Amino acid sequence: MIALDNLTKMEVAALTDVNGGLNLTDGHARLTLSARQAEVIARFPDLFQEASRRRFADIETEAHRTFLDAVGQHSAPVGTGRILSCYSSTLATDIVARALPQDTEVALLHPTFDNIADLFRTRGLRLRPLSEDDLVQRRWPGRPVGVIAITHPNNPTGLVTPPGHLRSLAEHAAGHGQTVIVDAAFRGQVKAAQYDTYEILDAAGADWITFEDTGKLWPMHELKIGMLAFSPKHAEAIEAAFAESLLSASPAVLALIRELAKDWGDSGFEHATALIEHNRRIVSTEIGAVGLSLADPDSRVSVARVRLPDNGPDSAKLYAEMVRRGVHVLPCPPFHWADPEEGLRLIRVSLARPSDTVEAAARTLAQTFADLR
Amino acid sequence: MIALDNLTKMEVAALTDVNGGLNLTDGHARLTLSARQAEVIARFPDLFQEASRRRFADIETEAHRTFLDAVGQHSAPVGTGRILSCYSSTLATDIVARALPQDTEVALLHPTFDNIADLFRTRGLRLRPLSEDDLVQRRWPGRPVGVIAITHPNNPTGLVTPPGHLRSLAEHAAGHGQTVIVDAAFRGQVKAAQYDTYEILDAAGADWITFEDTGKLWPMHELKIGMLAFSPKHAEAIEAAFAESLLSASPAVLALIRELAKDWGDSGFEHATALIEHNRRIVSTEIGAVGLSLADPDSRVSVARVRLPDNGPDSAKLYAEMVRRGVHVLPCPPFHWADPEEGLRLIRVSLARPSDTVEAAARTLAQTFADLR
């Protein structure tokens, strides 16, 4: 039994640390604005006025279209009413957890961010793990599993589900009357994940639910939208659950998202990912000095896992000592929601931070590891 | 059996009406910005920069202090960690619904906005109605009721719980080991509701949970914060449920709230309430022409109920015909969550709209009523 809080609680602890330690926990972008992003923020008063002047539905449709086009999702059902704007992708996840029939058996990717498992369990859904190896080997579960849920790309591993694998999953699900859930919250960061997943899901005749998120892409201080898209079968239940949770997202934030997405489709993506990869190399170099290495060197998401050898401190111990030294990262056991022990030799560092922050944190990680070994 | 959607679904229908009808459904402020509010929005880029520069906890504490002082809540536990900032007061309500033990018996004010009852029931809480007359007569339920939940001021009736009544409730609850929930989402609009409820609850030694909301005060296009405050007994369960729902609200929005609250404490309140009362008189005059009257003439919240006589169309019928004529209001049955029939002779109109909108809608209401009678 490992005594760790859930991941978000550790992230909250980092955010509210009264000693002001370095926070490399959450996957949110905490970066300096690019020149183009700063220009969009400077125009926010105009975007707010636009939200006063124009119809909500028009602004929302433009934001969906622009964002989804920027991340390759040209077949998403924009303008049909089957994309709902939520305050966050977590809220979108909870709405789906409520909309699915209680006792639905869900095969959920393992490991993945613990929040999905927590929200699903709290609403009475029953979970069984689908390992990344199951996914890679296309071992899809049959009945009584009613929902197969993947994170694409996965958090924390960065694993992308290739198009052929998604097609295989969608065809399997269509044949077995199952629903495919694609949590694409990190999709915007990874080109390989930006093939049109809606086209594949629809072509297979599968029922599906997809989460898209703007919250991981831009340093917008939680001005963000979680989009909840779904096939017609789920419309009624999801609309009812949505109406219990909110009236609408902010049209001013939707207008902001539209402008940021224009930049992302232009050169913003390249600008941001170059920084993430630069920071990944910094971590690799710093930890390499004490013999540590990245667990997922080919990952392109804005977090990196560091692998710890068996003959040294585990990630729970390393985490606690690093907090004492003023650096917050995430030990990985909670990601392994069905078997936390599996995560004891892995620790996660966020890369969407200024490079000097990443460097200082990686150095502390290396030094702490060396001191505890 | 009355076939009506829940209130939020009807509000969503109004918001997304492709024919662009008049929307007098939700209680959100959909007004032109005052000069002072426009000035705050013009400074939003600076507030965003402030959120980048300063610690989240510092901005959050300032926002809580300034807002709660502006609405008279000087004893609220600002800076103790026992006020959490949520995306909305609905999310705060759902977090509490999750944090309370399943099967808790809750005495909930009746009528009140149906969303609270829906969220509580969905999480497995058991409800029994507490009528407004019970509240006025101080008839507090004993065990097995574990939670007594009031809306102060109430939506849609505007009923304010006077200080002596809250003290009586708090002392009763302390004596019976019950928790008092105060949903104060509309408090900012009503001076009589702005006595220090935290002081009374704490002085009685009661356990309590309070919702505060900025979403009903200002025309901010859903840039808002729902504050979730609680006595120490509930800290652990609420913090855990919070961490399942979000990492943090936006510090940029918190800074915005702080600036708007400064104005509210200054002259913003008087400016806004004068408009609401002007609009209430417009409704009263327009409906008076066909013999209708306000159900709650002394209410000071930004919604007004119109009473319909028994020998004419009921509110479900009137609602449907008004939608056909391009005006969205809310029939009251769903507010009477335990007995919808009670609401059939009441219909609710939002007053936080430009006066010409309110006048046009009230005239349509009167004309439709006359045509259907």
Residue B320 CA to residue A283 CA, distance in Å, equals: 62
Q: Cis ω on the peptide bond leading into residue A129 (within 30° of 0)?
A: no
> Does the model's ipTM exceed the 0.90 cut?
yes
Cα–Cα distance for residue pair B205/A214, rounded to 1 Å: 44
Supply φ then ψ for residue B71, to 5 degrees: -115, 25
The reported pTM is 0.96
In the structure, what pLDDT confidence band is assigned to residue B319 with cuts at 50, 70 and 90? very high
Q: What is the largest CA-CA distance in chain B?
A: 63
**DSSP labels for B38-63?**
HHHHHTHHHHHHHHHHS-HHHHHHHH
Which chain B residue shows the shortest CA-CA distance from A57? B16
Chain B residues touching A15 at Cβ < 8 A: 56-57, 247-248
Dump pLDDT digits (tens) for B107-131: 999 999 999 999 999 999 999 999 9
From B244's Cα to the closest Cα of chain A, the distance in A is: 6
Structure tokens at A105: 């058996």
CA gap B189, B273 in Å, rounded: 7
Alpha helices (runs of H) in A289-348, residue ranges in sequence order: 315-324
Name every chain A residue with its beta carbon within 8 A of the beta carbon of B115: 244
Residue A267 carries which side chain, given as an amino acid letter?
S
Res A2: pLDDT: 62
Average pLDDT over residues A358-370: 97
* Listed residue (A82, A114, A15, A43) closest to A262, CA to CA: A43
- Taking 80 as the threshold, does the pLDDT of residue A105 lie above it? yes
Angstroms from A147 CA to nearest CA on chain B: 21
Tell me the average pLDDT of chain A.
96
> Residues B229, B238: contact at Cβ < 8 Å?
no
Query: Judged by CB atoms within 8 Å, which residues 74-103 of B form the interface with A?
Result: 81, 87-88, 90-91, 94, 98
How high is the mean pLDDT of chain B? 96
Instruction: DSSP letter for A234, please.
Output: G
pLDDT surpasses 80 at B19: no
pLDDT in tens, B277-287: 999 999 999 99
Average pLDDT over residues B263-269: 93
Asked whether the beta carbons of B329 and B27 are under 8 A apart, the reply is no
Instruction: Give residue for tokens 């005239």.
Output: B363
Q: Nearest to residue A336, comparing CAs of A144, A158, A108?
A: A108
Torsions phi, psi for B224 (to 5 deg): -155, 170
Q: Which of A16, A28, A41 sits opposite B45 (nearest CB)?
A: A41
Per-residue pLDDT for B231 more than 90? yes
Shortest distance between the Cα of B74 and any Cα of chain A, in A, equals 23
- Mutation target among A23, A123, A247, A250 for the B interface, most CBs of B within 10 A: A247
Partner residue facing B244 (CB), from A98, A122, A252: A122
One-letter identity of residue A264:
W
A222 touching B (Cβ < 8 Å): yes
pLDDT tens digits, one per residue of A217-251: 999 999 999 999 999 999 999 999 999 999 999 99
Q: How confident is the model at residue A19 (pLDDT cuts 50, 70, 90)?
A: confident
- Mean local confidence (pLDDT), A111-138: 97
